[in-house]
Chains A and B, each alone.
Chain A
């Protein structure tokens, strides 16, 4: 892309990778289990943003399927893990 020049690409990756580093810090040193779950949920979104950056750099448009799949898998993973930590299983036994 002729308009998205190299300094702009460096700025994009610096911003998104700085955000990823801050989230990874909270993922490692987070005091509670909720912080780690929040950070896993945020890391999926940041990985999708990095995939968007790769699409800009290599000038392709074939990665939108990966974006869609990662969005779905991230949501299902977060909900399943929260449900597992809450009740010890994925299915409620209310009866």
Chain B
């Protein structure tokens, strides 16, 4: 009864899709929400589509679903990269501290130097003997 395995695969995909949606609601930052969508929802999509293809289709449908899944896996990082770059250029500040606080002082100084067009003064690069 290998169909039971495929049905379990479909419901694992539903679990991952719901995890991505809950991450979209619960996370605090547009960049972390992008992280939740571009990983959780894509994995859930792949599991659901491949489960349905194994459950219903013949070999051509399995290859069609495989093409869709490979395409989605290879283009989701590009789309997420474009969205994150749009956010940085629109000036949306990421939250960097994990305690629910806003950014630390070092992060604020880093963002201020980046916005004023200067290079951030890094101590590690100054101490580099090369």
Contact = CB atoms under 8 A, between A and B. Distances in A.
A4 B21 contact: no
Interface of B: 1, 3-4, 7, 10-11, 13-15, 17-18, 20-22, 24-25, 30, 33-34, 37-38, 41-42, 44-45, 48-49, 52-53, 55-58, 61, 64-65, 67-68, 71-72, 75-76, 78-79, 82-87, 89-90, 92
Contact of A22 (B10, B22, B65, B71): B22
Q: Is the interface of B mostly helix, strand, loop or mixed?
A: helix
Given A71-B72, A82-B86, A49 B44 contact: yes
Given A15-B18, A79-B78, 12 more contacts: A1-B55, A4-B7, A22-B22, A34-B87, A39-B24, A41-B83, A49-B48, A55-B52, A61-B56, A64-B61, A67-B49, A86-B85
